[in-house]
Chains A and B, each alone.
Chain A
């Protein structure tokens, strides 16, 4: 899609202004119902498209391509709410590295899209601003937390979007909305200027209609950044060029514990097995693998993530961020501002404060950090025997709005297939496989840390099945 658009721009068959206008018209038509956008950047997008057309220069990798950003990614001069009331009215004083790279590559920002508050959630229902609907069924959630990103791409309100994935927040909404979404390896993409949830887990990545488009965008945004000390200086390949459709002899693992997990719906398991068998027909070698700690992944993940979140949320003290109030005391000011947090953020702060407090730290936080080491080692061992893993993304298809919001533990447990990947720091791509009962189906392909090319290739074969 991106490459054909670029060739149309270069041959003057289409202009950046045409494409931008088409997208803005669709946003005006569809978004009142879908609710993906928190901010529509229409005027600026038109201006940038015009500038691009006047320059006639479409040599940059994303020149004239209209797209959206999850509203946690800073763009100088624009809002960055993180779906929270505490950041209402805040204007970013600088741009994130990701946006600077996209802008440099010629991307045109259509707007900023919805997220669960501070990315904590998997349905977008935790946003303080609006409910985003699944474009394939308006009674259902788009997934989350990058639900606005997935919904905007699925309904052609952006060629691609940038989301974030701390425990599945790119892959699960991509799966629910029938688009492609890659969670790169931890450290592959700079987090500078992206609002934190849990800093040792957060990753930034693209969602798009095709595997190739996510590969093109990842090549633009990946790489070492002096402003994010967790980005290793590993060369960034041209991922799109490295996509190979020959998977003959590739060893692909199926995780026994995933397919036997409590609560996995039979049709989800069937879809994964069916896709794996199709890959086998293309020459891949399937291998059952065991990851014995899978059962503990959700507990380990949430203990660590909520601990990190509670420290990250401490910066929202009402001084640097938050509305101006006339408090009786400093304590009063903190409490007044922090009462703007929604329930899931309050749960995160309290859970993290508790598990990090004296007397509980060893049993909860430290123990979980040790289990994380063991989980990482299990994945490393598995990748000595297989090239990639194929797995389900969510144990069930997109659920109805309001259906699960009152049971936080049940929501956490539904992350069983996505959180282990963030615990291990590896990469994973969610790719659609079709529709069942009108709702999108899909699988994820998991690969070794910094081996994104491998999973792009396998995902590309899956999308062409």
Chain B
């Protein structure tokens, strides 16, 4: 069972702010789900190589040439922030 502190810690690492109700809800749900998933510990995986790329492709190389020309205007249009002097305004962080 995950503790409330653990849920707070995970939420902090994930940059999610949770209400006290959400903390309780996710504590219950995630504990149930993860304890069920622990069933995979029954499987012997000694010497097994983990799979992250299923087709087995490795080292897909390409020339480092710019190929996609996305216009700055299109990129600016995709932002929700205010645009000033053809630049995105972001909040001051310092």
Q: Which residues of A contact B (CB under 8 A)?
A: 76-77, 89-94, 185-187, 200, 226-227, 229-230, 232, 293, 295-296, 299-300, 302-303, 310, 317, 319-327, 329-331, 333-335, 338-339, 341, 346-347, 349-351, 353-355, 357, 363-364, 366-374, 376, 408-409, 412, 424-425, 449
Contacts and interface: CB of A to CB of B under 8 A. Distances in A.
A229 B60 contact: yes
A364 B37 contact: yes
A136 B71 CA distance: 44
28 contacts: A91-B74, A93-B71, A93-B74, A93-B77, A94-B68, A94-B70, A186-B54, A187-B54, A200-B52, A200-B53, A226-B62, A229-B57, A295-B39, A296-B43, A299-B37, A299-B38, A310-B14, A346-B22, A347-B30, A350-B7, A350-B16, A353-B10, A364-B34, A366-B50, A370-B49, A374-B43, A376-B54, A409-B29
Interface in B39-94: 39-43, 45, 48-55, 57, 60, 62, 67-68, 70-71, 74-75, 77-82, 89-91, 93
A330 to B, nearest CB: 4
Contacts, number: 162
B34 A354 contact: yes
B77 A425 contact: no
Interface of B: 2, 6-7, 10-11, 13-18, 22, 26, 29-30, 32-34, 36-43, 45, 48-55, 57, 60, 62, 67-68, 70-71, 74-75, 77-82, 89-91, 93
Contact of B32 (A90, A232, A409): A409
A455 B41 CA distance: 34
A350 B32 contact: no
Given A230-B57, A334-B15, A367-B40, A412 B80 contact: no
Contacts of A327: 91
Contact of A330 (B32, B39, B77, B93): B93
A351 B93 CA distance: 29
Nearest to A424: B54
B82 A368 contact: no
